[in-house]
A and B are shown apart, each in its own frame.
Chain A
Amino acid sequence: DAGVIQSPRHEVTEMGQEVTLRCKPISGHNSLFWYRQTMMRGLELLIYFNNNVPIDDSGMPEDRFSAKMPNASFSTLKIQPSEPRDSAVYFCASSLLSDPTYEQYFGPGTRLTVT
């Protein structure tokens, strides 16, 4: 398997622009997680889905952030409008609910820079 795939790997945009990050989970996995990593706050969970349904979005910082999972093989995280403080690395992870360890597998991340 190719693992969790994220695109783009790097994104540079200007403040006020819309940003869309994409994630393809490992085939067969039914849980998907979006994380944000910054120097100041470390790794934070933003939202997670089970069977394409959002379970907990309490980590989403503001209404400017939204996430969707239209099917089992694709998810997006959108920021609109973007701000410089959104600059961070965004990770997507997936796992299998029936796995006793419920181990999460992380993608390579998208490094977002908002100028």
Chain B
Amino acid sequence: KQEVTQIPAALSVPEGENLVLNCSFTDSAIYNLQWFRQDPGKGLTSLLLIQSSQREQTSGRLNASLDKSSGRSTLYIAASQPGDSATYLCVSRTDSWGKLQFGAGTQVVVTP
């Protein structure tokens, strides 16, 4: 059974610093890996999805890498802003029917 672990569980940085969020997974036979953002009391917003054949994806200040052999993914957020404060979830898909496995999340606070 796939297990997804996110470290750290919480992170606080001053505005302008770069954020590095780590995710590890036990089963390397994934279809894809996705990063979501969740604001308090809100739903999930997809940030980046990396297909199994890809090594990374980029969107604006966000970059996510994928290393299947080591079972790791990293989400980088450059020049953090207070608006980046949220919980970030790492999610893997190992099922052809689309079943997802969620990490517990990293709660990020960016202070002005």
Contacts and interface: CB of A to CB of B under 8 A. Distances in A.
Contact of B97 (A56, A101, A107): A56
B61 interface: no
B104 A91 contact: no
A45 B42 contact: no
A108 B43 CA distance: 4
Nearest to A102: B98
Nearest to B104: A42
Interface in A21-63: 31, 33, 42-43, 45, 48, 50, 55-56
Contacts of A42: 102-105
B109 interface: no
B31 A102 contact: yes
A101 B49 contact: yes
Interface residues of A, number: 23
Given A42-B105, A43-B89, A48 B98 contact: yes
A101 B98 CA distance: 10
B93 interface: yes
B28 interface: no
A45 B99 contact: yes
A57 B34 CA distance: 23
Given A48-B99, A102-B98, 11 more contacts: A31-B97, A42-B102, A42-B105, A43-B102, A50-B97, A95-B98, A101-B32, A102-B31, A104-B100, A107-B43, A109-B42
Interface of B: 31-32, 34, 36, 41-44, 46, 49, 51, 89, 93, 97-100, 102-105
